[in-house]
Amino acid sequence: MKELEKNYNPADIEDRLYEKWQEKKYFHAEVDRSKKPFTIVMPPPNITGQLHMGHALDNTMQDILIRFKRMQGYEALWLPGTDHASIATEAKIVENMREEGITKEDLGREKFLDRAWQWKAQYGGRIVSQLKKIGSSCDWDRERFTMDEGCSKAVKEVFVNLYNKGQIYKGERIINWCPHCLTSISDAEVEYEDQAGKFWHLRYPLTDGSGYIQLATTRPETLLGDTAVAVNPNDDRYKHLVGKTLTLPLVGRKIPIVADDYVGIDFGTGVVKITPAHDPNDFEVGLRHNLPVINVLTDDAKIVDDYPKYAGMDRYEARKAIVEDLDKEGFLVKIEDHEHNVGTCYRCHTTIEPRVSKQWFVKMDELAKPAIDAVKNGDTKFVPGYFDKTYFHWLENIRDWCISRQLWWGHQIPAFYCDDCGEMVVTKEDHATCPHCGKEMRQDPDTLDTWFSSALWPFSTLGWPDKTEEMDYFYPTNTLVTGYDIIPFWVMRMMFSGLEHTGKVPFDTVLIHGLVRDSQGRKMSKSLGNGIDPLEVIDKYGADALRFTLITGNAPGNDMRFYWERVEASRNFANKVWNASRFIMMNMPEEGIDLNKKPEQLTDADKWILSKLNTLVKDVTDNMEKYELGIAADKIYEFIWEEFCDWYIEMVKPRLYSETDDTRYAALWTLKKVLIDALKMLHPYMPFVTEEIFCTIQDEEESIMISSWPVYTEEYAFANEENAVELIKEAVRGIRNTRAEMNVKPSKKAKVFVVSDDEVTRNIFENGKVFFATLGHASEVIIQANKTGIDDDAVSVVLHKAIVYMPFAELVDIAKEIERLEKEVKRLNKELARVNGMLANPNFVSKAPEKKINEEKEKQAKYQEMMKQVQSQLENLKK
């Protein structure tokens, strides 16, 4: 028989096994109508990405599910890929170019894109190789990229179809603008954070000189673009002023006072300045009152040239200058501190600038409704279920989606313009000719939001819009695994896209996980310097230990804390499994004895562990079907460590070591069967160590990952034997605990009496006598119906329907124990004499610090209590 190496060393096996799995094509899935499909599409990591703990958790969960389903006999496809990540990738490339003294404009679009593709070829595969290190069993033959030919074809198909249906349009609306990334971003990409700010209270004078209106603003620099002030139509304080004009401070422009329900009567002074170009609510007010839209900021948030005194100033620099001028000219009333919620770019964390811009939008009203209904009807469910609230919140309050980005890296918008006659054509073709004047048309320079292409991921990756076999067989997919922070970005967009373009939900379950935080509960970040590299953990402890740590004790949707101590515990568990397997293999019979044939006779102990295993199979399968991956992992751990290693292996050692025991074969068969089935259940969590052991202990199957998942069977439901052995275990535990409390060494054997007036219970202990010698340190086991012949000083352990007695004299050498206790009396007398002397010394009591005096008093009380106990024990022994 082959043997395992003496020591478990992950570095020696993990890369070797992963290469084997890939070479054998175990990860690959094909259309097979004889099997039921199970599909997961990987949330595509950015090509700029590097493996972090979030990726490790997300992909470990997916890998556990796909390995589980593969072993259950499904045609299991885990489809991997990467995302082009427009903003992040372009920013990195531009940054690299800046170091060379080159700009995008210096290169031009075509050469810049050549450089971007080179960058993708150089760095884009980094995270893929890192995903392989954690054991991801993806179908790498089907790896996709959001800008590959097939996905790009799907993007054009969707854009043109939605445009032709009137669901995509180009219009001038208020959008979120990032002055650092120099592009628009969608509402979902804005992160809000509380920032300390100010309320500047200002006076706007009435043009007729009859007074002024007072209002407050958090952004005085946008005053330059004010085109009105608004009051509530029901506000009696201002009804007489509606229709009059004000003279805009510093600018001199006349602006009207309008009445609009948007203004809250009770908020502040009840007057709001309206800047349609720089606030989404003001923009809507502007539309209702036909107000002009005046933009006062450049793309990088500097004041435009129309205001010479402030032109070129950064928005915050301009704010300071404008406030100073307002104060000088008597328009500033007061300044108050104010904490307010500010939108920032999710990529660079720069404060977002709302601004009016001509962009491409998707109408969301009609698309959102089916996506809401699909979850309400149960076509797609969230695990945990309460995350549907986040989903509904976004979809029920959704605004039209701004999909154009002022970037070059990405899917260029398939719209073309004729510069001569102004005609616009939207087409799937790469070029367009003007239908009016026949001239070559210019393509829109903007690209699509990255999420536009990743919204199509579950079906574009399977060949849509073509009618492929893969699309027909593997779609809709089954489980989407993702973090709760991605619900508005990605989950809801895939839902409405899948329903709109395929008529089906893209997945039946969304399994939500939380964040991996540091040991103090903080979010891992570069700024805090508290991030932990998963590859560093793998180098030190192995991928199996990292994976098991990320799953155990982790419930769906909950954040978890990362502790190195837990990784070490997971590595210790892998060691335990390894060493137990080595022990079993070392005791296996010589060649020629077939351990695949079930023995005719099994002992109670064999039936007990088989019954426990049988129940475990049922429970773990049920837990995994319900996505309770952490609970299943805990059960597997407890079974292997406690029931199998600490109990069953110890129970059968006497049988293994005896060549004449006619139950030895039954013990070996049971050891092998239980180990293999336990390895199978552990495999999705710890793929490497289980594969190495499985392929060493048996030759019938070439890999554990394509072996069959264990199933519950009534054949191994041994309730009576299970109860019997559990009673013996309880007795052994009681004996061990009692001996430990009395400090009895394991080498000290003692007679054990089991007393029960119940014949069935006596028979159980009679059959289990053998276990007491190895597990309960018993020199002899006597089973009887009453207490006859048992000394009154015997130590007892009370069980259900039985009492276990151990003669005190056999646990303790009375003469030696008296000698030891008398020495302890002498020692305690010395300690008490010292402490009593100190506390009786007036000099010590008057001069020593109170803390020191209290310490000595505590010692005195402790020694007195100890003396009392020792003397009591001595008296009992001398009797």
On whether the CB atoms of residues 336 and 342 are closer than 8 A, the answer is no
Distance CA 248, CA 225 (A): 10
Beta bridge partners of residue 184, listed in sequence order: 177
The Cα 26–Cα 562 span in angstroms is 32
Cβ pair 599, 655 in contact under 8 A: no
**790 contacts 805 by C-beta, under 8 angstroms:** yes
Token pair for 220: 């005085």
Q: How far, in Å, are 7, 853, 854, 863 from residue 850 at the CA level? A: 56, 5, 6, 20
Residues 555, 513: Cα–Cα separation, whole Å: 8
Q: What is the DSSP letter of 596?
A: T
Q: 526 among the known binding-site residues?
A: yes
Give the whole-angstrom CA distance, residue 543 versus residue 548: 9
**Cβ burial, residue 76 (10 Å; 0-12/13-18/19+):** buried
* Identity of residue 654: P
Q: Write out 686-753 in H/E/C secondary structure.
A: CHHHHHHHHHHHCCCCCCHHHCCCCCCCHHHCCHHHHHHHHHHHHHHHHHHHHHHHCCCCCCCCEEEE
Helix (H, G, I), strand (E, B) or coil at 193: strand
Give the tokens for residue 250.
């510093």
Other beta carbons within 10 angstroms of residue 781's beta carbon come to 19
In this structure, are residues 155 and 59 in contact, taking their beta carbons and an 8 Å threshold? no
**Cα–Cα distance measured from residue 476 to residue 453, given in angstroms and rounded to the nearest whole number:** 18
Distance CA 530, CA 523 (A): 8
How far apart are the C-alpha atoms of 650 and 656, rounded to whole Å? 10
Cα 240 to chain centroid distance, Å, stands at 59
Question: Quick one: which of 803, 667, 782 has its CA closest to 727?
Answer: 803
CA distance 584 to 668: 8
Burial class (CB in 10 A: 0-12, 13-18, 19+), 593: exposed
Phi and psi torsions of 40, nearest 5°: -125, 130
Strands 254-259 and 228-231: parallel
d(CA 596, CA 607): 17
| Tokens matching residue 55 | 């990726």
**The total number of residues written for the chain in this structure:** 879
- 3-class DSSP state for residue 782? strand
Residue 804 φ then ψ, to 5°: -100, 130
The residue type found at 598 is K
Beta 507-513 vs 381-383: how paired, if at all? parallel
Using CA atoms, how far apart are residues 733 and 747, in angstroms rounded to an integer? 17
Rounded distance between C-alpha atoms, residue 389 and residue 548, angstroms:
30
| CA within 13 Å, CB half, 795 | 20
Q: Exposed, middle or buried by CB within 10 Å (0-12, 13-18, 19+), for 866?
A: middle
- Fill in the amino acid letter for 260: D
| Distance, CA of 568 to CA of 545 (rounded, Å) | 7
3-class SS shares of the chain: helix, strand, coil, % to 5: 45, 20, 35
d(CA 153, CA 151): 5
- Distance, in Å, from the CA atom of 592 to the CA atom of 588, rounded to the nearest integer, reads 11
User: Which residues contribute to the annotated binding site for ATP?
Assistant: 526
User: Which residues contribute to the annotated binding site?
Assistant: 526
